[in-house]
Amino acid sequence: MERLFNEDCNPKQLSPLTLAFIGDGVFDLFVRERLVCLANSPVKKLHQSAVAQVRCQAQAGFMKQLMSILTEEEIDIFKRGRNAHTSVPRNAEPADYHAATGFEAMFGYLYLKGDIGRLRQLFSIICEKSC
């Protein structure tokens, strides 16, 4: 599978918050597609399940699960995203929010790099342990 828009884009030249912006959408689509394929449920229930998995606390937990299997490049992107200066919402712990930003940056980087197989592998590991 290739990227959806598939325009030339060098993720190494993008800021970590830009990578997190696209990574948020990529991860959200993975979660939503999985939920829809598992069961034809009412939309409200699908939405609640999706929110539980894409909120920063969940993403921070997913990142802890993945750290031991990430490549150096993936860890570097995660750290860049985690350390980016962002405004933390009132309902989030700063550590969780920053870890989630790093998680999303990594997903965005891998997506724009075209490494869909690696994204599937990481998502599969997350689902084995958490979903």
Q: How far apart are the first and last CA of the chain?
A: 24
CA separation for the pair 97, 14 (Å, rounded):
20
DSSP-derived letter for residue 68 is G
CA nearest neighbour of 23 among 50, 54, 52, 46: 54
Helices and strands in the chain, H and E counts: 6, 0
76 in active site: no
Active site residues: 24
